[in-house]
Structure 1
Amino acid sequence: MEPYLSSTVAEQKVFPSVTNVQHHGAQITSSSSTNIGHCWIFRMFIMGTWRSLRLAFILGSLFVTLLIITYWDDVGGFNLFPQQDRKLAHSSMLPASFTTTFMGVMTARKQRIMDVCSQKYFPGSIPAFEQIPIRELDHLIVDDKHKIIYCYVPKVACTNWKRVMAVLSQSLLSPKTGKPYTEVAAIPADFIHQISMFPTFAKLLGQRGSPSRHMMAGKLQNYTKFLFVRDPFVRLISAFRDKFERPNELFYSRFGKDIILRYGNLSGEVPKTVAKAHAAGFQPTFLQFILYLLDEAREKKILNDHWRQVNSLCHPCQMNYDFIGQLETLETDAEQLLKLLQVDHLVQFPSGQENHTLASWERDWFGQIPVSMITELYKLYQPDFELFGYPEPVNVLHHQ
């Protein structure tokens, strides 16, 4: 027994805890259980904390990703003007006062532009907005006070819409009073067409250079954008009547004399003033005007704004317009637009159209134009027909 006792004594000296276990087994068992419980609780706490941290990290990443997607343009992403997401993102902007029928009409107009831009005429060839030259942005009038962008199209009620924009933005001062105009009808038509008086995207770029591109991106995203259009061929008739049938010194000197000389089979000079030309019977004919348009297009020249395609003036494939009005439904569209802009209590659109060119006149005006020329002319303006839902003018394309 002595060796065993010696061994036991030695163990007690070297491993006292072991000896304690041998003599107090029950007490150690209780203590071990308590320690194991504490370890399990600690382990579960660590695992729970880790799961919570992982979930928080995932949710945080998703939130940051959504912020980047939402505000990518505003923070100056790689492309300030990416190809528009052609979904009807702004349909929620339509006020409750819109009738269900009108909401359907507007949604269809916007959807049509989306479809034509993405499929038929411009696949892979639409430049980004920042690639559009400055001079082609001068039709985009900006009202920062009410957050509105209006692309004006000559011969599509633009005189009155410019008047509305001038009253809203208070950007046009009366020469008589030196104060901003407050009544739409009080603004003279000749005065309102002095575009230098309006803030435009072209002016913004000209004043501030490329840094203003970022500012433009924010306006395009946050402002309400609208334009008005009309049947392309009827617009041509209206432009011809206004600029060449009526005495217009500017257009006679810039275009009329050249058209008469080129297509009128004249060997001598034409009168220097429009008054003398009209008195002597020198006026461009509609046929000569069409010949001029086709030659200008063949030579890749930029057309005058009054007969230039709306697609080139307002860039509907790059700008996600919130409202597309049509001259054929001007009164209804104007009323609804002012409600959308929430300015119908501030300004009213003038009612009535003087000397209005009617769509029913198309057949008479194009009756003396060869079908081959009309077909070529239609191809020149076909994007406008398609983008804005105007039917192919079958009555003039096949009148012979």
Structure 2
Amino acid sequence: MEQRARKQRIMDVCSEMSSSKEFPKLTRPFDQIPNDELSDFIVDDVHRIIYCHIPKVAGTRWMSVMLILTGLLKSSGKPYTDPRHISSPIAHNPSNHLTFDKFPQLYGSHARQMMKDKLKNYTTFMFVRDPFVRLISAFRSKFIRPVELFYQNYGKMLMRTYGNVSDLPDTVEEAHAAGLKPTFQQFIAYVLDPKTRRNIFDKHCRQMYRLCHPCQVKYDFIGQLETIGTDAEQVLKLMKVDHLVQLPRAYTNFTEASWVRDWYEPIPTERRRELYKLYELDFKLFGYPKPDIVGDEETTP
């Protein structure tokens, strides 16, 4: 019943928005979605499964599960059998997965039809998360921890552009040793900056509907991180692979929904409302309530 409700909600929102000029790309035909926007669809031809990956929604664990199911990745000449033995860099390496954006090279002019055929005949699933909590998780994992790639690509830019910090160390280790880290307020300023909302909007904070296109793809299963224990069991049984692999439990604590007020309270109310507007479709499509921290729009008498 929960799955029916989740699917029906998506259908209702997509139908409601189909005539809206505010989100013209939301309900465009599947054929009009560029190939580079389909890179998160991971295909397992062995078990006829398609998983749409959303960063910061147990993505590493699900990508590890997909690697085991496809059998494409081997260790010491043998396929992996335990997702816990697959490191995050291996799980996230694009060369280890068959994804839709590779289809044009593989199938030429038949690529798009092949995608549609597989979407129709394979079991499709995705997992979602409260959008505001997902943003906190993205910030915590990429900027509070010393991640060199994100420091070079984003951290320096965040502190220079939104923090007016000019003299920055060369490496993330040096920066952290000097107490130089982007703040959550700077991160939110980046997310809200109109210049970043186009193509350079990093996937860790890109809207979930822009990654998995739920108005164009009818998913067989829509899981939520908040109920991942039971949802993971259900989807593995649905795909008839529960005897082959299990989703490993997380080794670190999830970002808690109760933290939302603490993290967002220092951000001005108007900016919180802008942020909600940016992720409003994710809240509506996937059934997450509007956060109390956003408040109601003030009306002029």
Q: What range is the shorter-chain TM-score in?
A: over 0.9
1:275 is aligned, of 169, 173, 176, to 173
- Give the alignment's TM-score, normalised by structure 2: 0.93
Shift of 1:122: 5.8
Give the corresponding residue for 2:40. 139
Contact 1:173–1:181 (CA<8 Å) still a contact in 2?
yes
Higher alpha-carbon deviation: 382-391 or 272-281? 272-281
1:181 corresponds, among 53, 65, 80, to 80
Cα deviation, residue 302, structure 1: 3.8
How far apart, CA to CA, are the structure 1 residues paired with 2:250 and 2:157?
Answer: 35
**CA distance in structure 2 between the partners assigned to 1:280 and 1:210 by the alignment:** 53
Number of residue pairs matched by the alignment? 292
Aligned to 1:354, what secondary structure does the other structure show? coil
* Equivalent residues of 2:156, 2:168 under 8 A apart: yes
Aligned to 2:299: none
- Structure 1 counterpart of 2:107, from 208, 216, 222: 208
Hey, what does 2:10 align to over in structure 1?
113
Contact in 1 for aligned 2:131/2:282 (Cα 8 Å): yes
Q: State the alpha-carbon separation in 2 of the partners of residues 248 and 298 from structure 1.
A: 21
| Structure 1 residue 181 displacement after superposition | 0.8
Q: Mind listing any 5+ residue stretches in structure 2 that lack a counterpart?
A: 297-301
**Residues 151 and 226 in structure 1, CA contact (< 8 A), matched pair in contact too:** yes
Segment of structure 1 superposing worse, 292-301 or 274-283: 292-301
Whether the aligned pair in 1 keeps the contact of 2:265 and 2:293 (CA below 8 Å) is: no
The percent of aligned pairs where both chains have the same amino acid is: 55
Q: How much does 1:119 deviate?
A: 0.6
- Residues 334-372 of structure 1, C-alpha deviations (whole Å, 9 max, x = no match): 001111001111111112451310000000000100000
SS in 1 for 2:74: coil
Higher helix share: 1
Q: Which amino acid aligns with 1:224?
A: T
Aligned-pair CA distance for 1:171: 1.4
The alpha carbon displacement at 1:298 in A equals 6.8
Report the residue type matching 1:332 in the other structure: T
| Corresponding position of 1:162 | 63
| 3-state DSSP of counterpart to 2:55 | coil
The aligned counterpart of 1:374 is 272
Contact 1:121/1:383 (CA < 8 Å) preserved in 2? no
Residue 216 of structure 1 deviates from its aligned partner by 1.4
Q: Which has the higher contact order (CA 8 A, sep 6+)?
A: 2
Aligned to 1:304: 202
Shift of 1:123: 4.3
| Aligned residue among 225, 234, 246 for 1:336 | 234
Residue 137 of structure 2 aligns with which residue? 238
Question: Which structure has the larger Rg over C-alpha atoms?
Answer: 1
CA RMSD of aligned residues (A): 1.6
1:277-292 counterparts in 2 under 5 A? 277-292=175-190
Question: Which residue of structure 2 aligns with residue 248 of structure 1?
Answer: 147
User: 1:57 — aligned with what?
Assistant: none
Query: Normalising by the residue count of structure 1, what TM-score does the alignment of the two structures yield?
Result: 0.70
Shift of 1:120: 3.5
In 2, the alpha carbon distance for the partners of 1:301 and 1:189 equals 25
